[in-house]
């Protein structure tokens, strides 16, 4: 898989970085070792 940006960690900061990069047209690979990301469950439907 080709990605312009790799974000390691799906904490709130990592998710914002990945989202911002996607909005600017970059392809992003987001890696997280845990089963759940670091975002409130109600907001997960946005991603």
For the chain, what are the domain ranges? 5-46
Q: Give the CA angle between residues 46, 35, 19 to the nearest 5°.
A: 35
Contacting residues for 44 by C-beta, under 8 A, at least 6 apart: 37
Pairwise CA distance, residues 17 & 44, whole Å: 15
**Please, what is the end-to-end C-alpha distance for the chain in angstroms?**
20
**pTM, full prediction:** 0.70
Does 42 score more than 90 pLDDT? no
CB atoms within 10 A of CB 11: 15
Output the pLDDT for position 35: 73
Output the pLDDT for position 40: 58
């Amino acid at each position: 898989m080709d990605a312009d940006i790799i974000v390691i960690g799906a904490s709130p900061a990592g998710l914002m970085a990945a989202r911002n990069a996607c909005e600017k047209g970059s392809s992003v690979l987001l890696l997280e070792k845990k089963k759940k990301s670091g975002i409130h469950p109600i907001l997960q439907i946005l991603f």
